[in-house]
Structure 1
Amino acid sequence: MVETGERILVVGPSWVGDMVMAQSLFKTLKGRDPQARIGVVAPAWSQPILERMDEVDEVAGLEVGHGEFGWAPRRRLAASLRERFDRAIVLPRSWKSALVPFLARIPRRTGFLGEQRYALLNDRRRLDKAVLDQTVKRFVALGLTAEEAATGDFAIPRPALRRDDVNLTALRERLGLSERPAIAMMPGAEYGPAKQWPLAYFRTLAETLVDDGYEVRVLGGPKDAGAGETIAAGLGHVHNLCGQTRLADAVDLLADCRQAVTNDSGLMHVAAAAGTRVQAVYGSSSPAYTPPLTDNAEVHYLALDCSPCFERNCPLGHTNCLKQLSPARVLAAIRAEG
């Protein structure tokens, strides 16, 4: 059968949570044209996540270090993509992110104006932050016509990452996990400490959950290993898995958990997309701007006068938005679900 769908290249974002939220755009595009072929320009770390999205047909890896311009690899990638796509959608708002579709001579190039990239785009959109008040709305809007996106009143499909049961079985054996019902904890937040619930609170919660008959799995990257040890040290049935798993493994481990206690982080969005009940703790950020994209979540947010400040570090030096949010509150929410 001859392929008749539109060939669409999406330049993906650089953060885990944003890449998960980009699936809402992919779902929108496939919903409008089931025969569409979607390719995603993305860093290598994101490929395991993209492979769990049924809507993504191809990943074009861009090997550029964080903060690097990477002229040579961008030019090589553009050459490999030339004449293969009908349209490009550029999700990041940086100048360099729009370069690959331009160099690949993709006929229609859609993105928000910014960073003097007027010449690189030919379907230019102005970002109305009051209307498109969530990151995921901004992503989906770029897959719609300008007229459809203008009101901000459109459907947002929920991300859903595919689970690999074979991989999960292997993980359970390799990591020595038990048959107890599991609760995940994600104490990290790449953005900064103003988004991180105190480690002592995670540990207090872990102690009580073990007494309640749960296994606790602490998930995160290598940078979170110390935090994981603070939570897990000396506690039976608490596993510090930070740095011991791949991103794809996290999808399967989270899908296997009853609930997840998490800061506003990339892994929060992974947990939501994996179908896990999410207990989401917000400090300096806002659940109105980057909510977990699921109905199966409870948000813990104090909405103090000083929040959200969106700062990496508390500008007032006290982080009360997190310190005044007690482990007892989160425990009660977990127990309410049974």
Structure 2
Amino acid sequence: MKVDSMRRVDFWVGVPLCALLTAVWWLWRRIRPAARATGRDILFIELSEMGSTILADPAMRRVQARFPDSRLFFLIFAANRPSLEITGTIPPEQVLTIRADTFLSLTLDTLRAIWTMRRLDLLAAIDLELFSRYSALLTFLSGAQKRVGFHRFHNEGLYRGELLTHRVAYNPHMHIAKNFLSLVEALSEPEDTVPFSKSVFSDEDIRLVPHVAEPAVLAAFRSRLIEAYPVLARHPRWIILNPNSSELMPLRRWPVARYLELARRLLEQEGVALLLTGTASERPEAEAIADQLGSERVVVLCGFTRLTELPLLYTLSEAMVTNDSGPAHFAAPSGLRTIVLFGPETPALYGALNPNARFVFAGLACSPCVSAANHRKSACTDPRCMTAITVEAVLAKLAS
């Protein structure tokens, strides 16, 4: 399904269902008061953003530390499942998926996921989504007695019922990884806390566990790359360019003309080879860029590397330039020097958890224009926040 179609379904179907289930739940609680929460399993729900699975990893690891006897489960859209394998915090057999390619598959898989969740021994369900009615409904229907998520309180709009037992105040001035930690902390705070969570988080709390590749695996991957693209053996300074962004927010794209200019400037440097990354469906666009550059030192890897192989590629590379999108976060555990271009969003909230990441943000008065309050949908027709980023600014960050 297209993103805008999913937003419409979330509003026109989600709001009435949240209101209906809120009324049913209120009546049920009058008849049968809540029993003491039992169970050992803890479920995270985050469906649509692959990068968010990396940003949520500190929260998941904190749950592991706080509840060592619990099994962690994760519910995610099927297309985004491989992103969980980058950190490996959730065992593959404990990942639940929902297909979202058509409305029929979405409906059928939703029913299947609810049936599966209710068979778990759930102590808690933690909704990582920002005010999605669909995820609120899934959290409620999971059967977990402790249901944690972001609540609007006195904010206008963003209605998704009164289905949570632990209502956390979303802080739009704090990094999203710390907001995710506040969801976890709510499970340990007194039940009558309003709002959750009254905690303090430092930058150390959201450090990722570094990814260290096994030497044999890394060597095998390098051999496979060089066998397919022998030019890489002669030019050992590999710099990744990721000119793509997901369908969720095409406004995040830096103009292709700027990537072409950047690539030409980088190719002037000795020993540099440029690697264009993306999904298999993005290969035609990447090939068009490579054709315009006309250099054997430009290699198109779209569809060549699996998502789970990206940490190996990042370990072998010198740097990456990317739009604000999933790869910026996928590279964080490897510590790759990464230049991330921000416009509609801000690095203050969504910066990669990578000490070697550098952010380029023009800081226009209208930027950032997307937030939880507008479900990350902008009215912008001219993304000058991206065109304001110059090639010189990117090169300066690469050199720093």
1:315 Cα offset (Å) = 3.3
Q: Which residue matches 1:63?
A: 98
Once the two structures are superposed, residues 126-150 of structure 1 have per-residue CA deviations (whole angstroms, 9 ceiling, x without a partner) of: 43434xx332222221111256733
Matches within 5 A, 1:323-334: 323-334=387-398
Larger deviation, residues 164-173 vs 320-329:
164-173
- The AA in structure 2 aligned to 1:137 is K
Secondary structure of the residue that 1:245 maps to in structure 2? coil
* CA distance in structure 1 between the partners assigned to 2:276 and 2:342 by the alignment: 18
Seen in structure 2, the aligned counterparts of structure 1 residues 323 and 123 have a Cα distance that, compared at 3 Å, is closer
Check the 8 A contact 1:27/1:157 in 2, yes or no.
Answer: no
Displacement after TM superposition at 1:40 (Å) = 0.8
- 1:27 is the counterpart of 2:61: yes
Alignment of 1:233-248 (within 5 A): 233=291, 234-248=294-308
**Normalized against structure 1, the TM-score is what?**
0.84
- SS of the equivalent of 2:82 reads helix
CA deviations over 1:201-234 (Å, ceiling 9, x no partner): 2122222323321111111124432431243221
Alignment of 1:214-225 (within 5 A): 214-225=272-283
Paired AA for residue 395 in structure 2? L
> 1:288-323: per-residue Cα shift (whole Å, max 9, x none)?
121111111111122133322338778363x43333
**Alignment partners' CA distance in 1, 2:265 and 2:103:** 45
The letter of the residue matching 1:60 is V
Instruction: Give CA deviations for 1:169-219 in whole Å, capped at 9, x if unaligned.
Output: 464146425131211111112244432112122122222323321111111
RMSD over aligned Cα atoms: 2.9
- Show CA shifts across 1:7-65 (max 9, x none): 21111231111122121211221233444321111222333221232421343332331
Query: Match for residue 44 of structure 2?
Result: 10
1:229 corresponds to 2:287? yes
* Aligned-partner residue type, residue 105 of structure 1: G
1:1-338 alignment runs, 5 A limit: 6-57=40-91, 58-65=93-100, 68=103, 70-81=106-117, 82-92=119-129, 93-113=131-151, 115-119=159-163, 121-130=164-173, 133-145=174-186, 149-154=197-202, 155-158=205-208, 160=210, 163=213, 165=217, 168-169=221-222, 171-173=224-226, 175-176=228-229, 178-179=232-233, 180-190=236-246, 191-212=248-269, 213-233=271-291, 234-310=294-370, 315=380, 317=382, 319-336=383-400
Q: Which one has a larger percent helix, Structure 1 or Structure 2? A: 2
Distance 2:65 2:316 in 1: 28
The 1-side partners of 2:124 and 2:397 are apart by 45
TM-score, normalized by length of structure 2?
Answer: 0.73
SS of the equivalent of 1:172 reads helix
SS in 2 for 1:303: coil
Describe the SS at the equivalent of 1:293.
coil
Tell me the amino acid that sits aligned with residue 116 of structure 1.
Answer: R
Q: CA deviation at 1:276?
A: 0.8
Q: Deviations over 1:94-138 (max 9, x none)?
A: 22223444334223221123543323x3223343434xx332222
> Structure 1: which 5+ residue stretches go unaligned?
none
8 Å Cα contact 2:237/2:272 also seen in 1: yes
Q: How far apart are 1:260 and its partner, in Å?
A: 0.6
How many Å separate the matches in 2 of 1:157 and 1:68? 38
* Alpha-carbon distance between aligned partners in 2 of 1:68 and 1:160, rounded to the nearest angstrom: 38
More deviation, 59-68/268-277: 59-68
Q: Which runs of 4+ in 1 moved over 6 A?
A: 311-314
Structure 2, unmatched stretches of 5+, are: 1-38, 152-157, 371-375
Structure 1 position 72, deviation (Å): 3.3
Partners of 1:52 and 1:162 within 8 A in 2: no
How many residues matched?
A: 328
Cα distance in 2 between the residues matched to 1:126 and 1:238 = 47
Q: Is the 8 A contact 1:112 1:125 kept in 2?
A: yes
Structure 1's 152 and 64: CA in aligned 2 closer, same or farther, altered over 3 A? farther
* Counterparts of 2:99 and 2:71, CA distance in 1: 25
Cα distance in structure 2, aligned partners of 1:192 and 1:77: 27
Moved more, 73-82 or 7-16: 73-82
Alpha-carbon distance in 2 for matches of 1:305, 1:326: 18
